[in-house]
Amino acid sequence: MPIRRTKRGGERTALAGDYDVIVCGASFAGLAVARELSGAGRVLLLDRYEIGERQTSACAAPTTWLEALRLGESVRQTFDKLVMHTPHSTVRFPLPFTFSTFDYPQLCALLDDQNDAAFETAKVEGRGAVSDGSIEVLTDRGSVAAPLVVDALGWRRILGSNGFQPPDAPLSRGLEVHPHGSSGELEIWIDRSLVPAGYGWSFPARDEVRVGVGSFDPRFHVKEPTVDLADRLRRDAVRYQGNWIPHRLRPATEAGVFFAGDSAGHCLPLTAEGIRTAFYFGIALGRELRQVLDGRATRETALGRYAAFSDSHERKFRWMLRAQRAVPRIPPRILALASRGMATRAFTHWSFGHYLKVAPPGFVTDSGDRRPAPEAALAA
Ligand SMILES: Cc1cc2nc3c(=O)[nH]c(=O)nc-3n(C[C@H](O)[C@H](O)[C@H](O)COP(=O)(O)OP(=O)(O)OC[C@H]3O[C@@H](n4cnc5c(N)ncnc54)[C@H](O)[C@@H]3O)c2cc1C
């Protein structure tokens, strides 16, 4: 069990006040937004846990993204190959860029060092009244208000209006265990005996291995397959962590509120890679909000431009969702043949190169002032 550092009892004083920006959720997306707002105004970051207290993923991301964000110190292990197992094949894909696993608390601390926002632990419960253009955020410690409010709270999208409940919503589900141990390979399993639609993974992180299963079908329970995969790999099924994972884009703005990361469905279908995209859209949003704080744009302009930026990725997300639906239908022997055929340097460089471009690491530093308008990336 993680050690709970969230303030309790008398330490949980009432929360009130007005800010320029309130960022709800202090994980990948929320911290990326706050980073872009450094020095720009009165920013409040809210999370129900202390920053980095609750790991929300297997924590594997392209190394270039971690380096671009100056998070390299948190890297635990780096991989230049992806090993894919199917029932009839094991194929090693040479990657054109490396993936690294990282330490979640350390990464969050490093990213948090890059903002000067105030931080409070509070459970965000909903959106309150709007007065003079300021939006009230209701929490279990009282209410705070700001004209610019960000929901980076994950798939529940608490500041949005329409209910989005599993298993009917477009959500995948993922569960993993974190046994101590080591391995040199980043591995995935596409195997219907494990999960009918989805995949299993083993992501080593120096002295622990993150072993889990994700199902694209929210009705399929992943506890048993996760234990099964851990057994197959002779790993202990200990230290569980899991969550729902969105696999469809949702509106990036609603009723004056901005959404980034899982709350806007920014996690990529098929691979369920959502850290890089949470950084990417979080940075894009932070840059828009900064323009408002600097007096170079109105909130309405920022709402329109950020929504358009997110929407402009719809086609790529739709294609990945199509692939997510198609891969489980491929007969295992054909999948084995196809994966062998695809394991060439030329193919992986082409396909993974396109995949990286959905949210390229150059977005972090693509301008001298490190905070360009998002359309600069669209034009690239
Ligand atoms: C088992 C599993 C493994 C995964 N592995 C990977 C991986 O290896 N690589 C990858 O790229 N993606 C992975 N993903 C997907 C990835 O975890 C998400 O896409 C990513 O975490 C989204 O970031 P986020 O900042 O939008 O949301 P989150 O990381 O979910 O953060 C939301 C934050 O909001 C806070 N919060 C939530 N509700 C409230 C509330 N009511 N009040 C206050 N605070 C609240 C939470 O405490 C949290 O800090 C995995 C997902 C799962 C489930």
| Ligand 1 and 268: CB distance under 6 A | no
Q: How far is the C-alpha of 333 from the C-alpha of 321, rounded, in Å?
A: 23
Burial of residue 50, with CB atoms counted within 10 A of its CB: 0-12 exposed, 13-18 middle, 19 or more buried: middle
Which among 33, 123, 153 is the best mutation to test ligand 1's pocket, defined by most ligand atoms within 8 Å of the CB? 153
Distance separating alpha carbons of residues 308 and 140, to the nearest angstrom? 33
Residue 253 CA to ligand 1 centre (angstroms): 19
Q: For residue 152, which atom of ligand 1 is closest to its CA?
A: 26
CA 154 – ligand 1 centroid, Å: 6
So what's the pLDDT on residue 165? 83
Assigned token pair, 106: 């350390």
How many CA atoms are closer than 13 Å to the CA of 140, on its beta-carbon side? 12
Do the Cβ atoms of 297 and 378 come closer than 8 Å?
Answer: no
Structure tokens that stand for 199 in this block = 């995949």
Of 95, 116, 104, give the one whose Cα is nearest residue 208: 104
**What does the pLDDT read at residue 365?**
85
What is the length of the chain? 380
Residue 7 confidence (pLDDT): 67
Position 6 scores a pLDDT of: 62
Q: Please tell me the distance between residue 345's alpha carbon and the centre of ligand 1 in angstroms.
A: 32
- Tell me how far apart the alpha carbons of residues 255 and 261 are, in angstroms, rounded to a whole number: 18
C-alpha 357, offset from chain centre:
16
129 alpha carbon – ligand 1 mean position (Å): 27
What's CA 22's distance to the chain center, in Å?
Answer: 19
Pick the atom of ligand 1 nearest to 246's CA. Answer: 19
- For ligand 1, whether the C-beta of 285 sits within 6 Å is no
* Closest-lying ligand 1 atom to the alpha carbon of residue 176: 1
C-alpha count within 13 angstroms, C-beta hemisphere, residue 222:
27
List per-residue pLDDT tens for the chain, 380 residues long.
344 456 667 677 899 999 999 999 999 999 999 999 999 999 999 999 999 999 989 999 999 999 999 999 999 999 999 999 999 999 999 999 999 999 999 999 999 999 999 999 999 999 999 888 899 999 999 999 999 999 999 999 999 987 778 888 889 999 999 999 999 999 999 999 999 999 999 999 999 999 999 999 999 999 999 999 999 999 999 999 999 999 999 999 999 999 999 999 999 999 999 999 999 999 999 999 999 999 999 999 999 999 999 999 999 999 999 999 999 999 999 999 999 988 888 999 999 999 999 999 999 987 544 444 444 444 43
- CA–CA gap between residue 24 and residue 31 (Å, rounded): 10
How far is Cα 224 from Cα 220, in angstroms, rounded to an integer?
Answer: 10
The rounded distance, in Å, linking the Cα atoms of 322 and 51 is 35
- How far apart (Å, rounded) are the C-alpha atoms in residues 353 and 34? 29
Could you give the CA distance from residue 146 to residue 76 in angstroms, rounded to a whole number? Answer: 38
Identify which of 144, 115, 140 has the alpha carbon closest to the alpha carbon of residue 51: 115
- Measured distance CA(268)–CA(352) in Å, rounded: 14
Which residue has 């500041």 as its token pair?
Answer: 159
Pairing of strands 89-102, 253-254: unpaired
275 CA from centroid of ligand 1 (Å)? 8
Q: Work out the burial of residue 184: count CB atoms within 10 Å of its CB; fewer than 13 is exposed, 13-18 middle, 19 or more buried.
A: exposed
Contact criterion met (CB below 8 Å) for 75 and 66: yes
Per-residue confidence (pLDDT) for residue 12, from 0 to 100: 75
Radius of gyration of the chain (CA): 21
